[in-house]
């Protein structure tokens, strides 16, 4: 028999989607006039990793793909490429979550930073391979550094605003 999704799964998914779409809305606001300066962090990506590493039972893969596909459309990126890379990266983190659970936050931050770097490198290589327009390398490196630097703030904000905390050993399936 097919089980109905639990209340925590539904509420967690809705909270994640609302958070990602608020971040996307803020990213699309025309807050600066003229030439863009420093690239900001990808807070949506940081939130995906924070959620997957804290409550993997609340965030299904199709929800991640849906959120990133909508972001791809609105930000006019190659449709589905970044969504596929984010799905692969988030599922790699989800598989390692039980082993990472007891590690200190600094280790999680380092591993997440490495994973984000590999994802951005893979995205850039795919763009070059298929002769798509590629952003300047300096801008990509600055966005990577900003995303990795913002990760602890996203984790703190998710815990403080949403109540996202690390699951215990018996809480996940």
pLDDT tens digits, 79-110: 999 999 999 999 999 998 878 788 899 999 99
In angstroms, rounded to a whole number, what is the distance separating the alpha carbons of residues 89 and 111? 11
- In the numeric block, which tokens belong to residue 19? 């958070």
Q: What is the mean pLDDT of residues 12-41?
A: 83
Predicted pLDDT at 102: 82
Q: What is the mean pLDDT of the chain?
A: 87
- Mean local confidence (pLDDT), 3-19: 82
> What's the pLDDT score for residue 32?
67
Task: Check residue 52 and give its pLDDT.
Answer: 92
Q: Is the pLDDT of residue 34 over 70?
A: no
In this prediction, residue 171 has a pLDDT band, given cuts at 50, 70 and 90, of low
């Amino acid at each position: 028999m097919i089980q109905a999704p639990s209340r925590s799964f539904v509420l967690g998914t809705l909270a994640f989607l609302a958070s990602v779409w608020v971040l996307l809305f803020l990213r699309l606001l025309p807050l600066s006039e003229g030439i863009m300066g420093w690239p900001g962090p990808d807070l949506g990506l940081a939130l995906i990793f924070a959620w997957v590493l804290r409550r993997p039972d609340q965030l299904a893969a199709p929800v991640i793909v849906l959120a990133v596909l909508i972001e791809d459309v609105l930000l006019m990126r190659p449709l589905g490429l970044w969504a596929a890379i984010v799905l692969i990266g988030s599922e790699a983190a989800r598989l390692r979550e039980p082993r990472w659970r007891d590690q200190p936050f600094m280790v999680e931050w380092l591993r997440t930073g490495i994973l984000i770097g590999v994802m951005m490198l893979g995205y850039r290589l795919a763009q070059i391979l298929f002769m798509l327009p590629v952003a300047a390398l300096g801008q990509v490196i600055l966005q990577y550094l900003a995303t990795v630097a913002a990760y602890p703030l996203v984790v703190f904000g998710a815990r403080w605003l949403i109540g996202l905390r690390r699951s215990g050993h018996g809480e996940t399936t």
